[in-house]
Each structure stands twice: as C-alpha cells, then as structure tokens.
Amino acid sequence: MMQQPPHANHFQHQMRRQSFDLVLHNGWNSLLGNFSLAVLSLMLVFSTATSLSLIVWSSVFVMIVLGRHWLGYHLTQKPKRSNSDVRLYGVMVYTTALMWGIFPWLFYQADQPLSLTILAIVIAGLIAGSVASLSAITAYIRGFLALTLLPLIALFLYQQQFEFVVFAIMMGFFGLFILNTASQFQHTLAHSIELNLQNQQLIDELVTAKQQAEEANQVKSYFMANISHELRTPLNAIVGFTDVLLTTPASNEQQHFLESIRDNATQLTQRINDILDFSKIEKQNFRITTGTHSPIENLEQTLQAFTAAAENKKILLEVEIEQPLPTALLFDAFYWKQVLSNLLSNALKFSNEHTRIEIKLFYHHDTERLYCSIRDYGVGIAIEKQQQIFEPFTQADNGSTRQYDGTGLGLSIAKELLTSMDGGIRLSSEIGQGSLFEFWISAPQVSNQGK
C-alpha cells in the first residue's frame, strides 16, 4: 500500500479537526433544541405516563445532554484533541439519540394513537435539525439517525395497523432523504473546509515569501550601501587629484585626458550617490528636516551647478518666477534641491543642442504648496513608459540599444523624496516634443512678504 505524503496527512488531519470544531460550535443550538423538544414531549405524555418513568427518563436525559454540553465546552478549550476525544463525544451523541429512540416505547399508550403521531413529528423535527449540527462528521449523523428513527419505525410496525405501517414506510423514506441531504451537506462542508485550508496555506506561503523577499532586500540594501561607500572613497580621491593636476602645466592633449578622467569619475560618483540614496530610502534610513529657506535662493544655487553643462550643449536655461513668491518657507532645502538637480540633469541629458530648458517656480497660497516645473525640448518619453520611469532601475530607453547612461534611480528617488515631503510629481511628454515635469511640496509660509 502506498503511503500518503506528509502534507496530505496534515491536510486530512486539519479537515477532521475543523469538522469536529464545527460540531462543537453547534453545541448550544443542539442543547436548546433537545431541551425544548423534551419539554414538549413530556407535556404530551404527562397525563398518561407514570411519575416514576417520567422522573427517571427526564433525569437521565438531563444528565446526558448536560454532560454532552460540558464535554463539548471542555473540548473547545483544549488546544489539542485526540481521536479518543472525538469518540467520547460521539458516545454522548449516540446516547442522546438512544434516549429519544426509547421515548415512544416507554410512554406510548395504545389507546392514544394520536400521541404517537405527534411524537413521530417531534422526532422528525429533531432529526432534521441534527443535519446542520452533526453532518460535519458522517458517523455522528448516521448513528443519531439510526438510534432515533429505527426504534420509532419498529414501534409503528409493531402496532400491525395499516395506517401505522404506511407511516413507518413514510418514516423510512424520510430517513433516506435525511441521509442524502446530510451527505450533500457534508460534501459541501468538506469542500468549503478544503478551500479554506488551501487559502490559508496559500496565505502562509505568501507571508513566508514576503518575509524572505524582505530579508533578501535588506541584505541587498546592506550590500549596496557598503560597496558604494567602498567605491566612493577612491573615486573622490581620483576627482580630487585630477583637479589638482588640472591646475598644473600640461599639453592640450593631457588637459583633455584629465578633464575626461574628472568628468567620468564625477559621473560615476553621482551614480554611487544615487545607489546610496536609494538604499537609504528602501531602509527608511533618512529624515526630512524642515527649516526656514528661500526658494529663489535655493533655485539659483542649484542652477549654478548646471550652467557650465548647459553652455557646453548650447542650451539656454530660462527661469520664470511667478509673483508674489514668499521669501521664507518651511521645507527641507537639501532634498528639494536634490529633486531639482535630478530633473535638471535629466533635462540636460535628453535635450538636443541649441534648445532651451524652461524652469518655472510658483507658489499656491491657498494650499501652501511650492511648485516647480521643468520643460525641455528633447527626445520626449513614450506614453506607455511614462509611469514606468518612476520605478527603480527603469529608464525610458531600457534595452540593448540604450543611448543614454544612468542607473535609472533618479526619478524613483525624486518621487520617494517628494512623497516624504507631502508632495508629488507628474509628467507630460510626447516623443520628439520634449517633456514637462512638475513637482510640488508642502511649504508653509514663515513670512507673507513677497518677492
């Protein structure tokens, strides 16, 4: 015989456990149903039955039903339940059914056939109600049905009257109907439990995968931060020594080589800085520090760093400042200038020679937001790629035919920084027509004086 795999055994164990949990969960309904029907049945036979038989049956029935309910409550508090617990609870279910099975034999009077018919209806209702409370475990519902219905059918047949024989046949068909209904109910319930367990298993796997991905991401971020620090130190030395050499006498060719070394080392340093910034953002290892700053002064400081690059490509930097613009706002000037620098760098990189870049600075007094837009007339960005470029390590010209270098982190970093400053960024672009980036941050006024 082939053995089932361990996960299949675990799955079947969970199925049995949840089925039993459902039976225990319905214990209160079963308790109320048994007691209410028992009271009605005792009232029906009270005038014809002996006091002793009423007391004995009632006492035993109450002890069994209360014992079953106590056992069910005890098992619900038990973290682990064995097969013996399931069997013991089953014994209590069968004993309850047996008490109902002997009830008509104890209290039926031959001169009152109507009472037997009413008892049959009561027991039929009890059996119908047990479908919902016991069908989760097939053995329970079958045992309960047999111990309650078979004695009643036997009593009908024992009367040897045509009407009672017909009633016995009807009760037999009723029992078959209940068995079929219980089987369908149990099948549906088992399927529902199976789906629930499969969903839980998928959730557990997703949680585990998420944790593993987060751990791998932390390791990656740690590695990127460390290797970037290790690379940045010698690169800074290369840039510094190259600047020193540029101040010494050299031929035109040597001067050109030194400038090439400096420019490439500077670009590589910027790439490493981007990786470090991205690593900080991923680890949430940065803090927005607001202070009182002049937006115009910060704009001018940033533009100074790009003046030479713009002149080399014959690109005109046009600046427009909408008035009135407050001279003192509360914002993080360092990160604001970093966002502006990233966007200006991209605008210069993707602009053709002899074009212009338009920079516009304005302030919304109602929302206390500082806006800045950068418009270039370069290559533009395809519509289908305009959302992707804000993702890490993504560029508009990704692929083997890339014409522009870069890490693809600048816009991703800018978006995260702006979000941290209660701001945002949007893009409008067409291929061959250039791009318009507009970004904003929350910047409350310190002074209402305009400039």
Report which residue type is found at 202: L
Compute the distance between CA of residue 28 and CA of residue 132 in angstroms, rounded to an integer. 13
Please answer whether residues 49 and 79 qualify as being in contact, where contact means their C-beta atoms are separated by less than 8 angstroms: no
- In terms of domains, do 315 and 192 share one? no
Query: Among residues 313, 315, 327, 325, which one has the least CA distance to residue 358?
Result: 315
Token pair belonging to 362: 């304005």
3-state SS class at 416: helix
- In terms of domains, do 174 and 298 share one? no
Compute the distance between CA of residue 46 and CA of residue 112 in angstroms, rounded to an integer. 13
3-state SS class at 274: helix
- Inter-axis angle of helices 83-107 and 6-25, to 10 degrees? 40
Residue 71 lies in a domain: yes
CA atoms within 13 A on the CB side of 408: 14
Compute the distance between CA of residue 247 and CA of residue 239 in angstroms, rounded to an integer. 13
76-80 long-range CB contacts below 8 Å, 24 or more apart? 76/21, 76/24, 76/25
H-run or E-run covering 424: strand 424-430
Alpha helices in 26-50 (DSSP H): 27-45
- In terms of domains, do 305 and 169 share one? no
Residue 220 lies in a domain: no
- In terms of domains, do 158 and 41 share one? yes
- Which residues does residue 294 pair with via DSSP β-bridges, in sequence order? none
Strands in 369-376's sheet, in edge-to-edge order, are: 316-321, 356-364, 369-376, 434-442, 424-430
- In terms of domains, do 38 and 175 share one? yes
3-state SS class at 320: strand
Q: What is the DSSP string of 99-131?
A: HHHHHHHHH--TT-HHHHHHHHHHHHHHHHHHH
Residue 50 lies in a domain: yes
H-run or E-run covering 329: strand 329-331
Compute the distance between CA of residue 96 and CA of residue 35 in angstroms, rounded to an integer. 11
For the chain, state the CA radius of gyration: 42
pLDDT value of residue 449: 43
Residue 383 lies in a domain: yes
pLDDT value of residue 1: 44
Residue 48 lies in a domain: yes
- Domain boundary among the residues 162, 183, 205 is at 205
Residue 311 lies in a domain: yes
Q: What is the DSSP string of 37-69?
A: HHHHHHHHHTTTS-HHHHHHHHHHHHHHHHHHH
Per-residue burial over 19-35, b if 16 or more Cβ lie within 10 Å, else e, is bbebbbebbeebeebbe
Cβ neighbors of 6 (< 8 A, separation 6 or more) are none
Could you list the residue range(s) of the whole structural domain that residue 391 is in?
Answer: 291-395+406-442
Q: Could you tell me whether strands 434-442 and 329-331 are parallel, antiparallel, or unpaired per DSSP bridges?
A: unpaired
Compute the distance between CA of residue 378 and CA of residue 116 in angstroms, rounded to an integer. 96
- In terms of domains, do 422 and 299 share one? yes
- In terms of domains, do 68 and 200 share one? yes
pLDDT tens digit at each of 451 positions of the chain: 445 444 556 667 677 777 788 788 877 788 888 888 888 888 888 888 888 988 999 999 999 989 988 888 888 888 777 888 888 988 999 999 999 999 989 888 777 778 888 888 888 888 888 887 887 888 888 999 999 999 999 998 988 888 889 988 999 999 899 888 888 887 887 788 778 878 888 898 999 898 888 787 777 667 766 766 666 667 777 777 777 777 888 788 888 787 778 777 766 766 676 666 666 666 566 688 899 999 999 999 999 888 888 888 899 999 999 888 898 999 999 889 989 988 998 899 888 888 999 999 999 999 999 999 999 998 888 887 877 787 765 555 544 344 545 455 778 888 888 998 999 999 999 898 999 999 999 999 986 544 4
Residue 247 lies in a domain: no
- In terms of domains, do 21 and 163 share one? yes
Unique residue bearing structure tokens 């038990």: 78
Q: What is the DSSP string of 175-214?
A: HHHHHHHHHHHHHHHHHHHHHHHHHHHHHHHHHHHHHHHH
Q: What is the DSSP string of 215-250?
A: HHHHHHHHHHHHHHHHHHHHHHHHHHHHHHHHTS--
pLDDT value of residue 450: 42
pLDDT value of residue 399: 43
Residue 272 lies in a domain: no
Compute the distance between CA of residue 348 and CA of residue 309 in angstroms, rounded to an integer. 8
- If one counts the domains in the chain, the total is 2
3-state SS class at 356: strand
Compute the distance between CA of residue 77 and CA of residue 353 in angstroms, rounded to an integer. 78
CATH code of the domain covering residue 303: 3.30.565.10
- Domain boundary among the residues 205, 225, 251 is at 205
pLDDT value of residue 371: 96
DSSP structure class, residue 284 = T
- Domain boundary among the residues 181, 205, 229 is at 205
Q: What angle do CA 415, 420, 422 make, to 5 degrees?
A: 95
Report which residue type is found at 296: I
- In terms of domains, do 199 and 346 share one? no
Compute the distance between CA of residue 415 and CA of residue 229 in angstroms, rounded to an integer. 24
Compute the distance between CA of residue 10 and CA of residue 274 in angstroms, rounded to an integer. 49
Please answer whether residues 398 and 406 qualify as being in contact, where contact means their C-beta atoms are separated by less than 8 angstroms: no
Unique residue bearing structure tokens 């029935």: 61
Q: What angle do CA 384, 388, 391 make, to 5 degrees?
A: 180
